[in-house]
């Protein structure tokens, strides 16, 4: 125990769920995050307060994950709660990457390998819940591969009979999507980018919102955002990554880039989702507020 007169503050007594919720709230405070909603940038139908409300609403589902509920069920309940604000989908991808990490942390082993193990253990029931989550919000997704229309996530609960007939686990779904979806790659790659970004958050100095904005820019400059590719096209995603790299190198103003991307409707949502996951891991590993 830290002596009361040592001048060193004790670590905060937050639960795993509180840290997960705090991570969602901190993610939207990072400013500027080019193309994303932040303290200085809104879209007409997607604003700062929607993300705050979404983070609060997700609490029940995050609590289920910490309590040992199936990952699919915890995720579906988190999305249901998150969706209880006017904008609809604010943090779908963030919750998808957070839920296995929350479970891993609650089990006392917040490592990418353990979260990856939990992902591999998902079942057909988890897949059904994952599809049910699409009933709560509209999510931009690519068309399914040829011959896989029966397993189109946009069918929601109507796809459950096909899921059960084909015995498709949630991890199977992620494997099928990993080539085109950055969150699926986290699930199948032991959450590598989330964990590495968490270490970067811990290394940096300054306020947490400033560190968050920096790590977001680093992630965006590192790899094309798959949400941008889905909403627009691969060329736009690559161009956005190149612009982020220029800003990261100090050769362009991140604020100018943020203004331009918002004006063009280019929203690197996957990068924001990974940033939220990184914040959770960093908070669990000692990031102080």
Does the reported pTM lie above 0.75? yes
Is residue 146 domain-resident? yes
Categorize the per-residue pLDDT at 140 as very low, low, confident or very high, splitting at 50, 70 and 90: confident
* pLDDT above 70 (res 10): no
Report the pLDDT value the prediction gives residue 158, as an integer from 0 to 100: 86
Report the pLDDT value the prediction gives residue 143, as an integer from 0 to 100: 74
Is residue 1 domain-resident? no
CATH of the domain at 54: 1.10.4200.10
* pLDDT above 50 (res 3): no
Q: What is the pLDDT of residues 254-271, one digit of tens each?
A: 999 999 999 999 999 999
Closest to 95 in 3D by CA, of 276, 231, 238, 225: 276
> What does the pLDDT average to over 38-67?
97
Output the CA–CA distances (angstroms, integers) from residue 74 to 12, 112, 262, 263, in the order listed.
25, 19, 32, 35
* pLDDT above 70 (res 214): yes
Report the pLDDT value the prediction gives residue 157, as an integer from 0 to 100: 85
Is residue 6 domain-resident? no
Domain of 177 in residue numbering reads as 16-282
Is residue 200 domain-resident? yes
Is residue 11 domain-resident? no
Q: How many CB atoms lie within 10 A of CB 153?
A: 17
Output the CA–CA distances (angstroms, integers) from residue 275 to 23, 168, 219, 270, in the order listed.
9, 29, 8, 9
Q: How is residue 11 written in tokens?
A: 């670590």
Is residue 265 domain-resident? yes
Of the candidate ranges 143-157, 160-174, 200-214, 264-278, the one whose mean pLDDT is the lowest:
143-157
Number of domain units in the chain: 1
Instruction: Give the 3-state secondary structure of residue 139.
Output: coil
């Amino acid at each position: 125990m830290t002596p009361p007169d040592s001048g060193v503050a004790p670590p905060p007594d937050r639960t795993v769920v509180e840290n997960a919720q705090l991570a969602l709230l901190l993610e939207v405070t990072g400013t500027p995050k080019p193309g994303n909603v932040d303290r200085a940038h809104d879209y007409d139908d997607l604003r700062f307060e929607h993300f705050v409300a979404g983070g609060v609403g997700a609490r029940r589902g995050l609590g289920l994950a910490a309590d040992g509920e199936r990952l699919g069920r915890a995720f579906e309940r988190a999305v249901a709660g998150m969706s209880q604000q006017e904008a609809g989908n604010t943090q779908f991808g963030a919750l998808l990457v957070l839920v296995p990490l929350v479970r891993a942390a609650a089990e006392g082993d917040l490592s990418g390998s353990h979260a990856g193990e939990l992902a591999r253990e998902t079942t057909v029931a988890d897949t059904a819940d994952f599809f049910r989550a699409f009933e709560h919000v509209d999510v931009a997704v690519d068309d399914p591969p040829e011959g896989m229309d029966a397993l189109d996530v946009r069918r929601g609960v109507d796809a459950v009979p096909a899921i059960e007939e084909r015995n498709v686990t949630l991890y199977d779904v992620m494997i099928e999507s990993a080539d085109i979806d950055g969150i699926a790659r986290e699930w199948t790659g032991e959450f590598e980018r989330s964990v590495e970004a968490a270490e970067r958050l811990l290394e940096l100095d300054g306020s947490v919102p400033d560190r968050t904005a920096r790590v977001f820019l680093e992630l965006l400059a590192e790899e094309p955002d798959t949400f941008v590719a889905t909403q627009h096209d691969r060329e736009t995603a690559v161009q956005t990554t190149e612009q982020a790299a220029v800003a990261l190198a100090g050769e362009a103003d991140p604020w100018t880039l943020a203004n331009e991307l918002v004006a063009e409707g280019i929203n690197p949502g996957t990068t924001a989702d990974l940033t939220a996951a990184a914040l959770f891991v960093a908070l669990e590993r000692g990031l102080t507020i």
